[in-house]
Amino acid sequence: MNDKTVIDNPARLLTPQEAAQFLAVSPRTLWGMAQRGELPIVRIGRLTRYAVDDLRTYIARQRQQARDWD
């Protein structure tokens, strides 16, 4: 995955492997997050994709939750 492409096109859809790499988690962890409803998915036929904007929103929510621990 080319990080510049992701930055230049926040609406881009990522494969599960790319999305896992973006979040620095394993594909299995990513799948679990999606199954629990923590992370939205985009279905295109049988394919699962993840929107970069959704991944960034997830990261922002996690930052907020971490601040709430203080």
CB-based contact 58:24 (threshold 8 Å): no
Give me the domain span that covers residue 38. 3-68
> Any idea what the CATH number is for the domain that residue 36 is in?
1.10.10
Residue with tokens 């907020």: 64
Q: How many domains does the chain have?
A: 1
Q: Measured between alpha carbons, how far is 40 from 3 in angstroms, rounded to an integer?
A: 21
Nearest residue to 50 via CA among 18, 27, 5: 18
Q: Are the beta carbons of 48 and 30 closer than 8 angstroms?
A: no
What tens-digit pLDDT sequence spans the chain (70 residues)? Answer: 565 655 567 679 999 999 999 999 999 999 999 999 999 999 999 999 999 999 999 999 988 766 666 5
The predicted pLDDT at position 21 comes to 96
pTM of the complete model beyond 0.75: yes
What is the reported pLDDT for 11?
76
**pLDDT reported for residue 45:** 96
Contact indicator for 14, 52 with CB cutoff of 8 Å: yes
